[in-house]
Structure 1
Amino acid sequence: MPKDMAQEKTIYARRESGARSYCRAFPATFTEARGSELFTEDGNRYIDFLAGCSSLNYGHNDPDMKAALIAHISQDGIAHALDFHTDAKEAFLRAFEENILAPRGMDYRVMMTGPTGTNAVEAAIKLARKVTGRRNVIAFTNGFHGMTMGALALTGNASKRGGAGTGSLGDVTHMPFEGAMGDGVDTLQMIESLLDNPSSGIDAPAAFVFEPIQGEGGLNAASDDWMRGIERIARKHGALVIVDDIQAGCGRSGTYFSFETSGIEPDMITQAKSLSGFGLPFAALLIRPELDVWKPAEHNGTFRGNTHAFVTARVAIEKFWKDDAFEKELAAKSVMLTSAFKEVADLIDGAALKGRGLMQGVDVGSGDLAAAICARAYEKGLVIETSGAHDEVVKCLAPLTTPDRLLREGFDILLEATREVLAERSAA
């Protein structure tokens, strides 16, 4: 017999840091995963509407990526290479150029940063300051950009910022995102007025940094007009445009990049999360060639680039982005998600739909209610999380490859959980 389960669990309380978070809401011990399903040590099965917080856009253990990675390892392929030239890196860059950049008429250098998204953000703001000679960076309310000090300075969330202790989170001006001041307030006009006023107290910005869809901030989706407006204001004031496409990218919005329909041309784009396609750590910064003024090793790291991730990322790109077939599938699934979340919203007075593409959710009005719904859904076999300033948004990040039947099953669970929680509160 295995050790007593209660005793076994104490290893986490005894040895793992208090910083752990997801395991508190989803305490099962997961042992297997396939596609959009997770399986536990005691044989239970869960539908995954979290997907590694959008790090598993193509699902768990995609068979083609897995086969390519196993073959690479079995043949003693390079595992760690700093920034050496490798066959795996070359194949990835060619696939990215031919299937992502060229069809979209985009010309960017690909900078391999440290393996997490926050490092790509750090590189972007460092380069913006280097290029422009300015310090101030404009970020937006409800934005989330990472947990290291520079990226955290851009982040709006008070609890995340509190983790910095007494560290400095300066050289950033926070401006209102679209809709942050209510539907009747034109935040573009407000931002432009402040920057045009030489007595506003706002230093000339090196860059504007924004997420086209604010993942942790509550699925606030910027309109194409707003994104174009930010680009126009940035150009007017000699600032760069940095798009943080870490959570909303790699197809999550319905297109590979989440800003594609706006027609803007960012100076830099951060990529991470599902960039590897397989859940492996991999982040990169896309830079317009004329801005790539780095000297050798001026921004580096031991784990810049990930050779195993190059292998799986190449497969992901060639499998899902060689033509527009996958994008058409995403458009159909997006409609399905909107319809399903409307069913949830119709149960709750004042609830509102949020997000777009395969990055949608419903604002249920309070963090307490959203948490209760997600907790009940977990009890019934669905892993789904909340987001927003008060965690008031029930947020779906199901793998983009989730079959329609599993999406429907997951939403049936969510609907049942919502009805039960509302009924219990009504009766209390």
Structure 2
Amino acid sequence: MKIFEEIESEVRSYGRSFPRLFNRAKAEFLYDNENNEYLDFLAGAGTLNYGHNNDIFKEKLVEYILADGITHSLDLYTVAKAEFLKTFNEKILKPRGLDYVVQFTGPTGTNAVEAAMKLARTVTGRQNIISFTNGFHGVSLGALAVTGNSHHRGAAGIGLGGTSRVPYDEYLGEGFDTTEYLDKVLSDSSSGIDKPAAVIVETVQGEGGINAASMDWLKSLQIVCRKHDVLMIVDDIQAGCGRTGTFFSFEEAGLDPDMVTMSKSLSGYGLPFAVVLFRPELDQWKPGEHNGTFRGNNLAFITAKTAIDHYWSDDKFSKECIRKGEYMTKRLNAIVAKYGEGNFTACGRGMFQGINCVNGEIAGKITKLSFQKGLMIETSGADDHVVKLLCPLVITDENLARGIDILEESVKEICRGEDSIPEEEVFFESQQPQDTLKAVS
């Protein structure tokens, strides 16, 4: 792996945490060049909800490529784009009573966030954007301005303005409704917070530490936004596409946001793809006003349509995600009750969960040991203090149980202060039978 140290930038990150040379992947597994197998609870940071090299998507993609289907098209009209739009409208938007225009942005989530904020400012004529403590929305300058993480903000090299930050749900402790605070400062012309164009929020803060907002808080936030004529942007880039159990993470709260940003698992196959959804009356762009060379990824249109057709034509897949999420909750609650001397807590919802380990040193040791045992899992939070479970949604019951078994074994050894692992235990065998998981539902 000398080549990476020689010419790849020091900005590289994941390779440092998982120092192996990977060369293939399938479903919920990654394999290195020595054919060692790793259970993937990283899943491309939420990009691979349907697993690696999903056969259903691959067949359609290869068929399209072999037929010389258009790959790059800027924003020209193509058959692949038309079919995606029809499928997305008929199977995702209409069944949920959502009337949205779809804007294809540059292929990253941060570009979708930039576009949403630009449009909100254009439509309202206001500059300020309200964001929340521990929020993460990307690392381009506009998105970075509404991101809380000091590590990322510190790399901007310039002052980040045009935003105001308010406390997220339970940031000030349980029982303190921070939407009441937001309502108060928006009602007071002397609060020092300019009336914003929009509020941008994650229903579950992934990079911020798997902080899940309550349904009541989310409902109250939308009420406050409507009261003050402020647009509500839900950043569903990581929490969407089934990660919390439903296609959109805000469905359980019954929200109808003014704008929604999506990326990551939208393509289904790990292909770059990002969109902004917004109410038709907000579509006040002039042609080409927000563009990008790669806003027409037709390969992603093919796999995204296939993902919707196969997984979202009915509610079976959603129910499976909810069932697996309930199992994860049960297992994580048992782990935090057993270890950490009462300091650990479980967090998140659906299949978007984690263990808050109090500090980054402990969490880092747990993830490092887990990797030695064959489980790829990362940390999140301001101090990297949360062990973050982000496995593919299609993971089998057996492998979900096996992955959590590995995590539990690592937690146990770290909490007991065991510094060495016998060679024969490098790949921990699951003791959790598949039937146990099925019984949870």
What is the Cα deviation at residue 50 of structure 1? 0.7
1:15 aligns with 2:7: yes
CA distance in structure 2 between the partners assigned to 1:72 and 1:177 by the alignment:
44
Residue 5 of structure 1 corresponds to: none
CA distance in structure 2 between the partners assigned to 1:357 and 1:161 by the alignment:
29
Instruction: Write out the 4+ residue segments of structure 1 that deviate beyond 3 Å after TM superposition.
Output: none
Aligned partner of 2:185 among 185, 194, 210: 194
1:129 aligns with 2:121: yes
Residue 77 of structure 1 corresponds to: 69
Aligned partner of 1:266 among 249, 257, 261: 257
Aligned partner of 1:383 among 365, 376, 389: 376
Counterpart amino acid of residue 117 in structure 1: G
- The alignment's TM-score, normalised by the length of structure 1, stands at 0.96
Counterpart amino acid of residue 61 in structure 1: N
Residue 374 of structure 1 corresponds to: 367
Mapping of residues 122-201 of structure 1, within 5 Å: 122-165=114-157, 167-201=158-192
1:215 aligns with 2:206: yes
Residue 30 of structure 1 corresponds to: 22
Is this contact kept in 2: 1:48–1:383, CA < 8 A?
yes
What is the Cα deviation at residue 351 of structure 1? 1.1
Residue 415 of structure 1 corresponds to: 408
Is this contact kept in 1: 2:138–2:144, CA < 8 A?
yes
Aligned partner of 2:82 among 73, 82, 90: 90
Cα deviations by residue, 1:69-108 (Å, 9 ceiling, x for unpaired): 1111111100100011111111111110111001101110
Is this contact kept in 2: 1:154–1:172, CA < 8 A?
yes
1:329 aligns with 2:334: no
CA distance in structure 1 between the partners assigned to 2:400 and 2:201 by the alignment:
30
Counterpart amino acid of residue 400 in structure 1: L
CA distance in structure 2 between the partners assigned to 1:287 and 1:393 by the alignment:
33
Is this contact kept in 2: 1:343–1:415, CA < 8 A?
no
Cα deviations by residue, 1:259-282 (Å, 9 ceiling, x for unpaired): 001112111000000000000000
Aligned partner of 1:59 among 43, 46, 51: 51
Residue 38 of structure 2 corresponds to: 46
What is the Cα deviation at residue 425 of structure 1? 6.3
Q: Which of 359-368 and 271-280 deviates more? A: 359-368
Is this contact kept in 1: 2:177–2:217, CA < 8 A?
no
What is the Cα deviation at residue 126 of structure 1? 0.1
Residue 261 of structure 2 aligns to a residue whose secondary structure is strand
Cα deviations by residue, 1:246-303 (Å, 9 ceiling, x for unpaired): 0000000110000001112111000000000000000000011010111110100100
Aligned partner of 1:356 among 339, 349, 356: 349
Residue 319 of structure 1 corresponds to: 310
Cα deviations by residue, 1:152-172 (Å, 9 ceiling, x for unpaired): 00000000101102x131010
1:255 aligns with 2:246: yes
1:237 aligns with 2:231: no
CA distance in structure 2 between the partners assigned to 1:238 and 1:331 by the alignment:
34
CA distance in structure 2 between the partners assigned to 1:370 and 1:421 by the alignment:
9
Structure 1 residues 164, 69: closer, same or farther in 2, change over 3 A? Answer: same
Q: Which runs of 5+ in 2 are unaligned?
A: 421-441
CA distance in structure 2 between the partners assigned to 1:18 and 1:426 by the alignment:
29
CA distance in structure 2 between the partners assigned to 1:413 and 1:224 by the alignment:
32
Residue 290 of structure 1 aligns to a residue whose secondary structure is helix
CA distance in structure 2 between the partners assigned to 1:414 and 1:241 by the alignment:
37
CA distance in structure 2 between the partners assigned to 1:336 and 1:262 by the alignment:
22
Residue 300 of structure 1 aligns to a residue whose secondary structure is coil
What is the Cα deviation at residue 392 of structure 1? 1.0
Aligned partner of 1:283 among 264, 274, 292: 274
Cα deviations by residue, 1:35-66 (Å, 9 ceiling, x for unpaired): 00011101100000010001000000000100
CA distance in structure 2 between the partners assigned to 1:210 and 1:272 by the alignment:
15
Is this contact kept in 1: 2:366–2:411, CA < 8 A?
yes
Residue 286 of structure 2 corresponds to: 295
CA distance in structure 2 between the partners assigned to 1:379 and 1:295 by the alignment:
53
Aligned partner of 2:91 among 79, 93, 99: 99
Counterpart amino acid of residue 398 in structure 2: R
Residue 243 of structure 1 aligns to a residue whose secondary structure is strand
What is the Cα deviation at residue 185 of structure 1? 2.1
Aligned partner of 2:389 among 389, 393, 396: 396
Counterpart amino acid of residue 218 in structure 1: G
Paired-residue identity, % = 52
- The alignment's TM-score, normalised by the length of structure 2, stands at 0.93
Residue 402 of structure 1 aligns to a residue whose secondary structure is coil
What is the Cα deviation at residue 194 of structure 1? 1.4
Q: Which runs of 5+ in 1 are unaligned?
A: 1-8
Q: Which of 194-203 and 275-284 deviates more? A: 194-203
Is this contact kept in 2: 1:39–1:46, CA < 8 A?
yes
CA distance in structure 1 between the partners assigned to 2:214 and 2:407 by the alignment:
28
Counterpart amino acid of residue 362 in structure 1: I
Residue 310 of structure 1 corresponds to: 301
Residue 6 of structure 1 corresponds to: none
CA distance in structure 2 between the partners assigned to 1:320 and 1:281 by the alignment:
20
Residue 437 of structure 2 corresponds to: none
CA distance in structure 1 between the partners assigned to 2:175 and 2:105 by the alignment:
40
Residue 137 of structure 2 aligns to a residue whose secondary structure is coil
Residue 335 of structure 1 aligns to a residue whose secondary structure is helix
How many residues align? The count is 418
Residue 417 of structure 2 aligns to a residue whose secondary structure is helix
Residue 376 of structure 1 aligns to a residue whose secondary structure is helix
What is the Cα deviation at residue 344 of structure 1? 2.2
Structure 1 residues 88, 426: closer, same or farther in 2, change over 3 A? Answer: closer
| RMSD of aligned Cα (Å) | 1.1
Residue 190 of structure 1 aligns to a residue whose secondary structure is helix
What is the Cα deviation at residue 186 of structure 1? 2.0
